Structure 1
């Protein structure tokens, strides 16, 4: 029985065959006029199967970095397969929030018309500074002032949303704003408050090498901005930070 010969590839397919997957994704982003800064999510522009291809590409380029650092990965058993491990770490763990869609969050109506201050935290968060890709590790406290129209989400979902936002290169000031925007969109409360305290290893591990300094910042929305008593109540209920 004669085997059917494969269909000839078009010139476009042939050109596409040798194009790195990162270039394909970048071209889609540019065509859509979509920003792709370090702390942007680009999941909408990644097609099925491309993350695996991107992993292979990052591994290859990471191997070039190790070669340029003059590390003998052929004979050094400690760095054998390091390029693959680092590529997986970036794409599947510490920068995962760039490449996957937001976690699915089930929202429920505020059936009991809850309208009292609710605080979630401390939520442990891990990120990386976008300047040096050094770890940023800290805690977040979230205060929500609901109204009768507010969507109610499970407590663990706040942690999942925080993990998704922090799972990309960030600077702390922008990260808390992104998280506030996301929670505001999901829950529609009367007020939202977020406080973040974190250690930045770009300051502890390198540079001035100060191990004790932390950064604390906050975002206040809605009634937390307008009502100083509510703001004081929220801040007073946060346990003593380390």
Structure 2
């Protein structure tokens, strides 16, 4: 019987690539999304991957969303916490709402999804969590105290939860992408993007499928001895 995975933010960008890569490995994928119904439904029609709408920053919505996925697809074996938002600005210009929204979604979403799925994984003696961090959570970034704090928190969350899950066959790992060629990066002004690429030793942006391949390994049976780790996939931009 195929394992079941939830990929949060799973219908676009890195999340879409992860959903497709897991599907190609024979995993039954549920792609969570929060906003664009039209785009999510188009993704589902194109790929055959079921989509489920809820806001990962809401604890109650995650509990209900996971229950619905399990009702439709079966028990959850894999959770990829990919959903994330940005609300950039320097500290002096950043509102509390912008701080809280990013922390609640990017970091709080990891807690909410783990809380909704960990007990079932423990009972079945198998589980995989992959949390998508960021190079900016490792190195910091000007104008992103909220985003950098949330992503840095993901790396600590990963190490702590890995210790809780290890004896139950549950692995917990993180991937820290560098700058990836997605819609979010495409929105960066070209002159700024050129400066970013100039600092990447391999001389290019990463591709979403390169992140997805890391995820599929960590979710596989072959990845069972890897837990509490952060895999940096950033073209050598930050060696951590």
TM-score by length of 2: 0.28
Larger Rg: 1
Instruction: Say which structure is richer in helix.
Output: 2
